[in-house]
Amino acid sequence: MTESVPTKKSQKFDPVRAAALQAMILVEQGEQTDVAIDKVSKGKNFRSIDRRFMMQLANGATKLRRRLDHDLRFYLAKPSQGLPILLSNILRLGYYQLRFTDRIPDAAAVSESVNLARAMLDRPRANLVNAVLRASIREPDKVKFASKDKDPKKYLGDYYSYPDYFVDYCLREFGPEDSEKLLIAYNQPPHVTYRVNFLKTKPEEVIELLKSNDIKYAHGEYLPEFIHIEGGGLPLESELIETGKVFVQDESSGLAARLLNPKPGSNVIDLTAAPGGKSTYMAIRMRNKGRVTALDKSQKRLNLLVENTQRLGIKIIAPVVCDMLNFESSQFDRVLLDPPCTGWGTAGKHSDLRWAKTSEDIRNLSQIQKHLIDKAADFVKPGGVLVYSTCSIIRDENDQIVEEFLVRRDDFEVDSASEFFGDAIVNSRGFVKTYPVAGKLDGAFCARLRRKIHS
């Protein structure tokens, strides 16, 4: 199974659901969801409403893969027997529509799933799909779960659809009640946030445009130039995004740039910059005065950054293609390090993440992060500031990296984030931590570290 699913031309089926099915299979084979969706959409000429429906199905069924498999076992004659990837995903897609969408009639969910099985498999397996899905409608109470009190890890993992290692981490870090709230939050539909570009417009003007088009919004929790869009899609894309008046960026991602707090005229470096969300935000806060060196080892991703800077009207970003471990330079006033991480803070927006990342990834990435923060420190002038940030909520990638760094480097100290943000997101150590349970922010971490001036 690769990009396309074989079909029998004589059989009719819904091409939108078929595309969602193809995307689910590609993701299970290791593709990122957004890449898979782009691949299966190519040449289809879907209407925007069809593409949104396809994305809802592909993302939703991918997120809930463990829950879907758990439930479906109760309706299979041989639940312990593995199913072929195509058949298992047709069942997942059908069951997802029955249990986890509220606008698809049961009859349509079943019949369209049967049509897919007939077209892509054969009549016996289409009959199996029909029997399993109809049984799930007749006997919804047949599904059972582990005891929440006796085996919370299995209960939460099965019910909310997460890998055991992540549930186990949450239980240790947050306790059962807060863990459940977090797992629920990551299963909600992702939100979109616009960052207003001060070089081209003002928040009030963007808000007036949203109001005049009856688009609901909410103000940023901590950064006033961020506007949370209620509902799906990218409203007013041609008027706002394509003109560079706004940039799509989660508010949690902007916190690191605000914490670095570069001033107009500063000499700043973003060490892993592409595709440019933080670099462009810093440049805008600097009012296009000074210099932002945007370093990244990926030419392709840096090209995206250059496109973004041109659209936003930014003139002070200097892109450099280089691995930061090999980069040599004089020192900077401000240094931002946003290293590779598991991305567990963004699990609500990346449906494949929970299945793509492993506990081994955390261990491997934390070793990389240690090397990168040591290198980043050398770029900071005495009296200058280093901000370390991730889009993860895993302590091993965040607090632990910073605390161990401070033991190794006594020429750095924590510069508390409480000067910039309130207690709601700043812990007692002075680090910023956000979670999707509080407001419309992804999970994120950032720490502001100042290099001491030795007398």
Instruction: Tell me which residue has tokens 């889009």.
Output: 391
Residue 385 and residue 379: Cα distance in Å, rounded? 10
Which helix (H) or strand (E) element contains residue 17? helix 15-28
**Tally of residues, the chain:** 455
- From the list 331, 319, 441, 325, the residue with the least C-alpha distance to 386 is 331
Per-residue model confidence as pLDDT tens digits over 9-56: 556 899 999 999 999 999 999 999 999 999 999 989 899 899 999 999
Query: Do the Cβ atoms of 307 and 362 come closer than 8 Å?
Result: no
Cα dist from 101 to 93, 95, 110, 223, 232, whole Å: 11, 10, 13, 34, 15
Q: Which CATH number fits domain 251-451: 3.30.420.10, 3.40.50.150, 3.90.1720.10, 3.40.50.300?
A: 3.40.50.150
Catalytic residue among 170, 341, 391, 446: 391
SS3 247: strand
SS3 144: coil
Question: How sure is the predictor about 302, in pLDDT bands with cuts at 50, 70 and 90?
Answer: very high
Residue 89 and residue 361: Cα distance in Å, rounded? 26
pLDDT of res. 127: 97
The domain covering 15-142 belongs, at the CATH homologous superfamily level, to: NusB-like (1.10.940.10)
Look at residue 77 and tell me whether its pLDDT is greater than 50: yes
Residue 376 and residue 343: Cα distance in Å, rounded? 20
Which helix (H) or strand (E) element contains residue 435? none
Q: How many CB atoms lie within 10 A of CB 240?
A: 23
Look at residue 2 and tell me whether its pLDDT is greater than 50: no
Residue 222 and residue 434: Cα distance in Å, rounded? 11
Structure tokens at 111: 């019949």
pLDDT of res. 56: 95
Question: How sure is the predictor about 4, in pLDDT bands with cuts at 50, 70 and 90?
Answer: low
Query: What is the dotted CATH code of the domain comprising 192-248?
Result: 3.30.70.1170
Question: How sure is the predictor about 455, in pLDDT bands with cuts at 50, 70 and 90?
Answer: very low
320 versus 455: the higher-pLDDT residue is 320
pLDDT of res. 10: 58
SS3 180: helix
Letter string b/e over residues 214-234, b meaning 16 or more CB atoms within 10 A of that residue's CB: ebebeebbbbebbbbbeeeee
SS3 47: coil
Residue 141 and residue 253: Cα distance in Å, rounded? 42
Rounded to an integer, the average pLDDT of 259-283 is 96
Instruction: Tell me which residue has tokens 């829950």.
Output: 67
Rounded to an integer, the average pLDDT of 429-449 is 93
Per-residue model confidence as pLDDT tens digits over 137-171: 999 999 999 999 999 999 999 999 999 999 999 99
Look at residue 133 and tell me whether its pLDDT is greater than 60: yes
With 0-12 CB in 10 A as exposed, 13-18 as middle and 19+ as buried, what is 360?
exposed
DSSP state of 426: B
pLDDT of res. 162: 98
Look at residue 375 and tell me whether its pLDDT is greater than 60: yes
Domain coordinates in residue numbering, the chain: 15-142, 152-186, 192-248, 251-451
Write the single-letter amino acid at 446. C
- From the list 393, 395, 399, 398, the residue with the least C-alpha distance to 344 is 393
Strand partners, 192: 229
Rounded to an integer, the average pLDDT of 197-226 is 95
Q: What is the CA radius of gyration of the chain?
A: 24
pLDDT of res. 323: 94
Rounded to an integer, the average pLDDT of 100-129 is 96
Q: According to DSSP H, which parts of 187-286 are helical?
A: 203-212, 251-260, 277-285
Residue 391 known to be catalytic: yes
pLDDT of res. 154: 98
Question: How sure is the predictor about 1, in pLDDT bands with cuts at 50, 70 and 90?
Answer: very low
Mean pLDDT of the chain: 94
